[in-house]
Amino acid sequence: MWSSKQVPVVPRNGDTLVSAIVARISGCDNQKEVSLNDQVDHGKEEVVDLFDGPIDWRLFATTGKGERLDRPELAEVEAALRTRELDLLFVEDLGRLVRGTHAVWLFGIAVDNGTRAISPNDGVDTMDPNWEERALAACCEHVSHNAHTSKRLKQKMMVRFVRDGQAFALPIAGYIVPEGAKYYSDWSKDEQATPIIQQGLELLAQSGNCSAVADFFNLVPFKKDIGFPTGPYCTNQDWDGKMVRRFYDNRILGGQPGRGFRHTVKHNESGRRISLPNPNGPQFREFPHLAHVNFAELADVNAILDEANQNLGRKFVNGNDPRAGVAKKRTRFPGQWGRCLYCGHYHVWGGNGVTENLMCSASREWHCWNSIGYRGAMAVKQVVSCITSLLYELNGIDEQLRSLVMSAGQAVSGEVARRWAKVQKDEAAYAAEKQNVQATIREVGPQPVVLQTLKELEASERALARERRELERLKPRTLDLPQSVAELRVRFEQQFGQLAANSYELGDLLRKLVPEFHVYLVRLCDGGHPLPRARVTIALDGIVPDAKHVPGLAKLLTRTFTIDLFVPAQRERIREVAVKLAVEGLGPKEIARRIPALIAEKPTSTAVQNALALDRKMKQVGLSSPYVVLREPPADYPKLRRHKNHKYRFEPVKGYQRPEI
């Protein structure tokens, strides 16, 4: 058996031994700094036994995880070895240096530079011809010990969680955890937080907007303060959209806390442990006394949000999403709501570098030729004007509206009965089909096509569950419906009156009332710039949630408008007046002199000539309006040339059907 004392240590300079001692602790709660001193003292005792003479000590005592290869002290040890000043490198065991084969690599550098390296607990001494074999075996033991300990602890904690609710997570907002609690059964929910959490979930289900719920949490009265407080371990004291999404994604709100959502994977180049979703999935336990909301409703809202956001991530680059998990931000209307009629992509703020303008998002990526922007404030003003005009236009339908509302109870009861029958029929069909798919999986294995079919069936089952819960809610209550157009107008004014024109809240309201907002381009028939125009559908039932349960009411309260998102050219603004004066036999100069008295314009005689020429062009081509719709880029317009670039490739939204205009 090899012993380090068989070969004495000889200093390079023949007098003073230069010895380095490496000590390390992981820094866990149970470890103390004194253990570093113990390692250093042990090293000194061992070295003194090997050399009886003056010793120059070089100490590397640090705190850090042994698997980490990016610890700065490792670079310092390597640099010291390469200086060829060290006579001896001492580590209590190789795990104190690195828990892995990198320790063997460092011992190899020591040998190459004439430094003797010793690890007494592992029986490794580089003076032993078989040192590398022993070192590799020792590293294997250290790595194995780490892996087995980690696995044992994870299994133990999971068993305790599943068995009796131990190993709980950090508490979130809405829960009270007494000091010394060891089980979820020791927790209690804050009863005053329950109605706020329920209202937040209802708002999230209606709007799908986490930022709107965050604003609600920040302003709602709670106990003696304003604002529902964030969790005790949150560094941010104000709610934002991301926090709300994480909050409602936690199943403990429905009384089912879980454990094992993520696990760690070693990054071998750095030795770091990276947290990733657990492929085996978490396990859950039921604690009904912790439920703030109905679990089925919570799962339903989360499924809807997941489905709505699944295609909103960034495009993959070389097979990877550069910003995985980044959610669509809250924005003002019509940002990320208005759509390009040509490609179907949403409009975004910042059109052509102008902060207050919007443009087609696909044109930024060279996937749509329509790069014309428009002012968002003008779009909002025009849409609100359409809503107001529709509210007054409906004055004559009070009797029809009242008739629909009066018959709503009978119609809804009949509709509910029909929907119940359909739900029960579909549930039976899906259950039978699911059994067939599961039998196929048992027979042929988890084939991709079969798994996809099962996934689609489960999605359909979730939709049926949502339908069932909605029908159950309809049974015990009376529908909240307006009895007249005047009442409908009051509801709109109550919601609209307190909102600023550029606020996020106004955007939330308009999205309920404007289900469709398609922007396309028009152009004067005599040429000029392409101009943005919108085809807008106004649905006033958006401010009456129960309107969907009354057949015919939604159609009665819906209209389609065409709005111009531009200021017309002067020749168009004065055209009709100029034509009337020209019929009287007046010349261009006289017409230009008289127009300011009739309309708020001061045209030149040249502008009048252009207006008359535009009118002649209209009559020549048989148009009642001077504008023609552009269905493709105009060949004679020198600025709209995005489609000529070699990077251009027209890519409409998958499955998009262009509406008729």
- What is the rounded distance in angstroms from the CA atom of residue 545 to the CA atom of residue 512? 10
What is the mean pLDDT of the segment spanning 289-296?
92
- Span 230-259, mean pLDDT? 90
pLDDT tens for 166-206 read 888 889 999 999 988 999 999 999 999 999 999 999 999 88
Is the CB of residue 494 less than 8 Å from the CB of residue 479?
Answer: no
**Beta-strand relationship, 88-91 and 116-119:** parallel
Average pLDDT of the residues in 236-244: 89
Q: Is the pLDDT of residue 325 over 50?
A: no
Mean pLDDT of the chain: 84
The contacts of residue 595 (CB under 8 Å, 6+ apart) are 574, 577, 578, 581, 601, 602, 603, 608
β-partners of residue 339 are 346, 518
Taking only the tens place, the pLDDT of each residue in 211-222 is 889 989 998 988
CA distance 161 to 149: 18
Q: List the single range of 338-342, 398-402, 433-437, 591-595 with lowest mean pLDDT.
A: 398-402
**What is the pLDDT, as a whole number, of residue 474?**
58
CA separation, residue 503 to residues 260, 334, 339, 499, 512 (Å) = 41, 11, 20, 7, 15
- For the beta carbon of residue 482, count every other beta carbon within 10 angstroms: 22
The 10s digit of each residue's pLDDT in 453-495 is: 777 777 777 777 777 776 666 565 566 666 677 777 777 777 7
Q: Position 639: which residue type?
A: K
All residues at 6 or more sequence positions from 225 whose CB lies less than 8 Å from its CB, including other chains: none
CA nearest to 239, candidates 267, 265, 200: 200
pTM of the predicted model as reported, rounded to 2 decimal places: 0.50
Q: Closest Cα partner for 578 from 567, 587, 568?
A: 587
Direct distance between the N- and C-terminal alpha carbons of the chain, in angstroms, rounded to an integer: 93
pLDDT of residue 609: 94
Q: How confident is the model at residue 1 (pLDDT cuts 50, 70, 90)?
A: very low
Residue spans per domain, the chain: 4-146, 175-309, 331-565+652-661, 570-630
* Beta-carbon contacts of residue 255 (< 8 Å; ≥ 6 apart): 286, 287, 288, 289, 290, 291, 295
- Centre a 10 Å sphere on the Cβ of residue 182 and count the other Cβ atoms it contains: 12
Encoding tokens for residue 346? 């949403």
DSSP codes, 281-322: --EE---GGG-SS-HHHHHHHHHHHHHHHTT-SPPPBTTB-T
Classify 447 as helix, strand or coil: coil
Mean pLDDT of all residues in 126-130:
89
Q: Most confidently modeled of 319-333, 363-377, 423-437, 441-455? A: 363-377
**DSSP secondary structure code for residue 599 in this structure:** S
Taking CA atoms, 648 is separated from 26, 350, 362, 641, in Å, by 55, 20, 10, 10
Q: Are 121 and 92 in contact (CB under 8 A)?
A: yes
The pLDDT assigned to 307 comes to: 84
Q: What string of H, E and C letters represents the secondary structure of 40-77? A: HHHHHHHHHHHCCCCEEEEEEEEECCCCCCCCHHHHHH
Q: Using CA atoms, how far apart are residues 518 and 190, in angstroms rounded to an integer? A: 46
- Taking the C-alpha atoms of residue 40 and residue 55, their distance in angstroms, rounded to an integer, is 14
Assigned CATH topology for domain 4-146: Rossmann fold (3.40.50)
